[in-house]
Structure formats: C-alpha cells, structure tokens
Amino acid sequence: MQLRRLIVALAAAAALAFTASAVTLYRGNQNDPDTLDPHKATGSWESNILGDLFLGLTTEDENSNPIPGAAESWTTSADGKTWTFKLRAGAVWSDGAPVTAQDFVFSFRRQMDPATASQYASMLYDIVNGEEVNSGKLAPDQLGVTAIDDQTLEIRLTHPAPYLPQLLMHQITYPVAEHAVEKFGDDWVKPENYVSNGAFKLVSFRPNDSVKLAKNPLFYDAANVKLDEVVFYPTDDGEAALKRFRTNELDLNVGFPSAQIDALKRTMAAELHVATVVNVRYIVMNTLKAPFDDVRVRKAIGLAIDREVIAKNVLRAGETPAYSIVPPGTAGYIDGPQVSFASWPMAQRVAEAKRLLAEAGHGPDNPIFFRFNYIGDADSRRMAAALQGMWAKVGIKVELVVSEKKVHYNTVRAQDYEVAEANWFADFNDAKNFVFLAQPSAGDMNMSRYANQDYENLIRQSDQEVDPAKRMALMQQAEAMMLEEAPLTPVFFGVSRNLVHTWVKGWADNLLNTHRSRFMSIEGRP
C-alpha cells in the first residue's frame, strides 16, 4: 500500500510540474468525441484520442504494424485457436493500481455484454461464445477469455484468426480498470475519475472545445515519450481548420478540403501528406425499407453513379473510382471481384439503370424519391450535390439531408435513413474487415441490414479455412454475391489527407492512417 501511495504521489507531482515550457502537441481531430469509453466509441476521431490513453494487448508502431502492447509476448496453439498472452511485469494503471489479466477478462466481458450496447461487438465474434454472449443467450462469464494468473491471459477462438494481433490494436479490445468502473459506474469516464494504461492520461474534456491529455509518468515506456501534453480539437469545419493550421494554432490536422489541393501543393507542399490507405467510400441502402428491398432499384442507384467524375473532378486528391468493396492493397486479396458494369461506358450504365427502374415499376409517372443522408464536410457536400444530379438523370428524385459526422453515423446505424454515404477505413488490414460490413450477424455494423444467409455462410466458411488462398477465395465469392445484390455500392477508394507541420517529428504515413502521439516530438517550432 505504501508503494502504491508513493507511485500516486509521484504521478500527482508530475502533473503539477507542467509549466509554460511544457512540450504540447496541438492536433486537429475532425470531430468532437461522443464518448471516451473505448467500448462505446465508434469513430476514428475517438480512436485517435483513445489510442493515446490506452494500450491494448498489442499496439501500433509508427507504421501501424502490430507490436507488443500491454502484452510483452504471446504464443499460439498448433490449431491457431488458443492464444496465450504474457502481460508486462510491473505495469500499472495511471492511478498506480496494477494492470492484471483479470482487468482484460473484465473488459472483454463488458464489451460483449449486451447491456454495454457496443456497436463494434460483432468484431469479436471470433472469440468462443462471443456471439452468444452478445445476443444474451449466454452470460458474460461464458466468454472464451480467461485469466490463467495475474500476468497470463488466454483467448480461445472459434476458428484460426491470423489477423488477431492487428484486431487487438482496436479500441474495442482496450482494457478498462475494473476498480474504477465498479467504483464510479458510468461516471468513470469523467476526467476526475478516468483511469487508463497508455502513454497519456486524461486531464480535461470540454465538449465542442478540446480534449487535453498529459504524459503518463507511470507508462512503461514513459522515458521515450517526448511530449508533455496533447490537445485534440474538433475541426469538422475544414476551411476553418486550414486557417488555424496556417497560423500555427494546429501542429497537425486530419483532413483538408479537396478544393484546396492545388493551392496546398503550391504553398505548403512540405506540410501536405496524401497517402495510400485501405479505405472505401460507399453508398449504403436500407434494405428493410421499400423500394430498397428490390435489388433492381439498388442496382440502378449504383449504375447511375459516375465514379470517374467524383474521384477525378469532385475530389481530385488522388482518390480512384471503386468497383469493389475490398480496396486494392488489402493484405493477400488479389484479383477480387468487381461490379458487373465496371467496364461499361457511362451511357450504357444509365440506360441499364433506367431499364431496371422501369422493370421495377418506376418511371416518369411513378418516380423514386428518397432522402440521402450525408456528412456536412465540404467534400461530402460536393459529392452529394454531384450524386443528386447523377440520380436525376435516371429519373430518381433526391432530398439531401446533412448532419455532422457523429450524428450521421448514429442516425444510419439506428436505421433512421433510406440511402446514405458511408466511409470505412480498415480497422485491420484483412478483407474480413470489409466483407463483414454486409454480414447479417454483424449487427449495427451491417447498416444495410442485408440478410442473405448464403453470404453469411460463405464468410463463416472462410473463418474456418486455414489455407490462406482458399480463405481468400471464399471471401471473394462472398463479395461477388454482395456486389451483385448491391446492399452497398462502392464509389471511390480514398487516400489519407493530413496536414503536418515540418516541426512535428515521428509522423509516418501508413495504410491504416493511425498516428499515435507517443511516437511524435516537436523540434524547432517557431
């Protein structure tokens, strides 16, 4: 107990030691977080903060490759279904309490408990009894996660998952301190109660203003963390964020308006970071609502989209037209399927869209009308306007409905929409992370509510397949089926767009567009 008091006292002293000379990184982060509970968070803007606060069993290096995190090592059984993790000796929470395997057991059970209502729960259905626990059929203590001792955690899977080290980097697998959650309940996320195990700890969260973090002196690698503070600002207004970046109020910012790309290339080439990422922007349709329960209507909506115009004329930052959901560059996924009309000229696509709509009973006397939900940033506004015009050419009338990003996704996942835009950056570099977006068992992540059990079965077969080539072939068969039935229709493959001042060191463009502050430093800021 005396040792713990000493640790806490040292941490408090370190927190009070901040002065005007503290090294602070100011990050533009697109949106204000809905929550700083890692088991309830859903957006990349939340993950950017949570990845600084917490350390999963594995974590990302500068290039978003998995490296040891809270676990210093792990082993896998011969059949690939049992993973055993050894936690770092002496690791503690930011309040000085030890981090134990039981904290991870508590956290996995909490994440999968239906009472938590985690939208990402289906990502962990690979764990034994994960789906049954999440659906309420089994109690959380039946989940296949066990503390062998204080330093040893066992995770049992329903099938081999070679991508598990990447999946365990995701915030949904982060541990939360059982003692803090039990003491404070839902109030554990308040800054005065917040406990984490990452490189930084929470100082303040002022909604619509900022989230401030301070270096965690109890972090196992604190000696190599060069920043004293990190401040995240919501910057959903891209033009305003660009002005703040130009005046050095922000050291870096996630995103910039595509309309500014030419000017940025001329005036801020060194600060401009445009890079390949594993990402797809797509249109999702609510198959529970007519007329989107008709595959002919869904196909027509996809056919009418001129992807070349959107990628090359509307966005212009290096995006490419998409004719599949799984992006190029996805690990091991070669020569995947495309929509049937990928090689058609636009005039042929428009004619086929009109034919399908007429066959479905729609035309000048019975036009389709729908609300299109989109995100209120400058690029999405331009794309929505372009889509509205494209759909009008085949006789579809569209009302544009705009909202900020976090409201948009909450609305779509709650099924309060007809047709909407969606954007998916890979959580881990594997095709499974894309084909599951239409998997019937994926819950809220299946925003279209596509219900084809043949599709479900193909993905489950791929889960059980140990041969990598056969596994990918099964997922390609599933993707081809989904593209033909079109609950989702791809629009373009994205690029990461970031602005980073040259005095920020340690930034590395990478396929997942993940950038943890612990690897960054400030050198020569004016």
Tens of pLDDT, residues 368-397? 999 999 998 889 999 999 999 999 999 999
Backbone angles phi, psi at 67, to 5 degrees: -135, 165
Looking at residue 158, its pLDDT comes to 96
Residue 258 pLDDT: 86
3-state secondary structure of 275: strand
| Lowest mean pLDDT, pick from 18-32, 174-188, 497-511 | 18-32
pLDDT for 4: 45
**Cα–Cα distance between 231 and 23 in angstroms, integer?**
11
- Per-residue pLDDT at 155 exceeds 70: yes
Whether the per-residue pLDDT at 187 is higher than 90: the answer is yes
Q: What is the pLDDT of residue 20?
A: 52
Reported as a single tens digit per residue, the pLDDT across 285-313 is: 999 999 999 999 999 999 999 999 999 99
Q: Bridge-partner residues for 424, per DSSP?
A: 280
Query: What average pLDDT does this structure show over 434-460?
Result: 95
- Whole-prediction pTM: 0.89
- Which residues share a beta bridge with 214? 201, 229
Q: Please, which contacts does 82-85 make with residues 24 or more away whose CB atoms are closer than 8 Å?
A: 82/154, 82/155, 82/156, 82/157, 83/154, 83/155, 83/156, 83/157, 83/164, 84/148, 84/152, 84/153, 84/154, 84/155, 85/57, 85/152, 85/153, 85/154, 85/155
Average the pLDDT over 223-236 and give the result: 97
Distance between CA atoms of residues 46 and 56, nearest Å: 15
Nearest alpha carbon to residue 127 among 147, 152, 144: 144
Position 65 scores a pLDDT of 93
Name residues whose C-beta falls within 8 Å of residue 358's C-beta, 6 or more positions apart in sequence.
none
Alpha-carbon distance 478 to 213, whole Å? 43
Distance, CA of 96 to CA of 93 (rounded, Å): 5
Per-residue pLDDT, averaged over 322-350, amounts to 95
Check whether 12 has a pLDDT greater than 60: no
At 161, the amino acid letter reads A
Give me the percent of the chain exceeding a pLDDT of 90: 89
Amino acid letter, 133: V
Reply yes or no on whether the pLDDT at 498 is more than 60: yes
pLDDT per residue as tens digits for the range 251-291: 999 999 888 999 999 999 999 999 999 999 999 999 999 99
Q: Is the pLDDT of residue 149 over 60?
A: yes
Q: Which of 286, 358, 332, 368 is nearest to 470 (CA)?
A: 332
The answer on pLDDT for 2 being more than 60 is: no
Residue 108 has a pLDDT of: 98
pLDDT at 18 exceeding the cut of 60: no
Compute CA distances 37 → 177, 243, 254, 372, 409, whole Å.
Answer: 11, 31, 22, 30, 17
Residue 215 bridge partners (DSSP): 200
All domains in the chain, ordered by first residue: 37-202 (3.90.76.10), 279-493 (3.10.105.10)
Q: Is residue 260 within 8 Å of residue 268, measured between CB atoms?
A: no
pLDDT digits (tens, 9 = 90+) for 453-491: 999 999 999 999 989 999 999 999 999 999 999 999 999
Asked whether the predicted pLDDT for residue 499 surpasses 50, the reply is yes
Higher pLDDT, residue 466 or 9: 466
Exposure b/e, 207-246, CB count within 10 A at least 16 = b = eeebbbbbbbbbbbeeeebbbbbbbbbbbbbbeebbebbe
Q: What is the mean pLDDT of the chain?
A: 94
Q: Which residue stretches of 423-467 are H helix?
A: 432-435, 453-464
Model confidence band, residue 360 (pLDDT cutoffs 50, 70, 90): very high
Helix, strand, or coil (residue 372): strand
pLDDT tens, residue by residue, 125-148: 999 999 999 999 999 999 999 999
